[in-house]
Chains A and B, each alone.
Chain A
Amino acid sequence: MLSGLLALKKNKVLSSIVLVCLADGLVGVSYGAVSVTAGLELWVPLTLAILVLAGASEFLFVGILAAGGSPLMAALAGLLVNIRLLPFGLSVQQQLGSGPLSYFGCHLLNDESVVFAVSQSTPAQRKTAFWLCGLGILLMWPLGVYLGGVLGALVEDTAVFGLDALFPAILLALVVPGLKSLRQLTATFSGAALTLLATPFLAAGLPAVLSIAGVYLGKKLHAK
């Protein structure tokens, strides 16, 4: 773990992880503020932030509640959005290990920690990157939500700050620089196109899962 940490520090991955955690904290601020301005009590987004720890599904949960939907519907919609965590989990088993800690480690599985885990070159670095990013987000996400909730009670219109654009921007900043081959580009763009096309017809979360078909398109069109 320690040697992994030193290597990560040397190749600047450590500072990227810190920045991603800070940015997620900012997204948390916007989510906390939006939830409170929508009329929810602060404990709702805060409990979600700690126990669910998966931003997109929490936005959706709170959004459905704010629109007057039932909490059970909101939970089901949130679970649909989180289906992608299952395929993510297939690629990080090694980083989690197999001891009792791995059951806690599962909770740290999210978009960001998975990207950092799969993009490192050695097993030790992958493991360290996964845990650091996961723990950092476990800390920063609820903290951001709390601050946002407090701020949201003071500021009238939080959309003014443009914080809602942060979440997609973070994901793009993580993924786009790694897209190199024509095959990857075909896969990502066709996958995203499928998602957009399906969005008016399917329940939230499912269209994103559909994007996986893009991987097969990329493979078919650019087979070696």
Chain B
Amino acid sequence: MQNDTTLLLVGILLLAAGTYLLRLAGPLLSRHYHFSGEFKQLLAEMVAVLLFAVAISATFFEAEHYAGHARVFGVSVAAYCAYKKLPFLVTVLSAALATALVRLLGVA
């Protein structure tokens, strides 16, 4: 047990330290290299593309497994709300509500 906890702590610290270095790398790089306006524009686009991809994969997958119809349905409702530019809170809560409702109806 003692051993397990030590290993767990090492894992947590590894993730924390590595994540911090990844966060630090971007600002450090852009301090030493000067990026053009066009490149900055591309970066802004990249942020949107990455976030969208993370959202889509978090919709369909839980680790490597399919997350189930209920979550996909719930997030689809939210995607529609976001597309219609409804208020943030409506969009986000619609996802949880729709997911909870179809689960109540027995959909996994």
Q: Which residues of A contact B (CB under 8 A)?
A: 16, 19-20, 23, 26, 44, 47-48, 51-54, 56-57, 60-61, 63-65, 67, 70-72, 74-76, 78-79, 82-93, 96, 98, 102-103, 106-107, 109, 111, 114-115, 118, 159-179, 184, 187-188, 191-192, 194-196, 199-200, 204, 207-212, 214-215, 218-219
Contact = CB atoms under 8 A, between A and B. Distances in A.
Nearest to B64: A204
B51 to A, nearest CB: 5
A138 B40 CA distance: 27
A92 B27 contact: yes
Interface of B: 7-8, 10-16, 18-20, 22-27, 29-31, 35, 40, 42-64, 67, 70-71, 74-75, 78-79, 81-83, 85, 88-89, 91-92, 94-101, 103-104
Given A91-B44, A195-B57, A211-B50, A54 B19 contact: yes
Contact of A162 (B13, B29, B61, B70): B70
Q: Is the interface of A mostly helix, strand, loop or mixed?
A: helix
B63 A204 contact: yes
A169 B92 contact: yes
20 contacts: A20-B88, A44-B12, A47-B12, A48-B16, A52-B15, A63-B62, A70-B7, A75-B14, A79-B22, A83-B22, A86-B26, A87-B47, A90-B35, A168-B58, A170-B92, A172-B52, A184-B45, A195-B57, A211-B49, A212-B50
B52 to A, nearest CB: 4
Most chain B beta-carbon neighbours within 10 Å: one of A75, A109, A111, A160? A75
Given A169-B74, A172-B75, A191 B19 contact: no
Contact of B63 (A63, A83, A212): A63
A187 B49 contact: yes
Contacts, number: 274
A191 B52 contact: yes
Contact of A85 (B12, B23, B61, B67): B23
A171 B15 contact: no
B19 A85 contact: yes
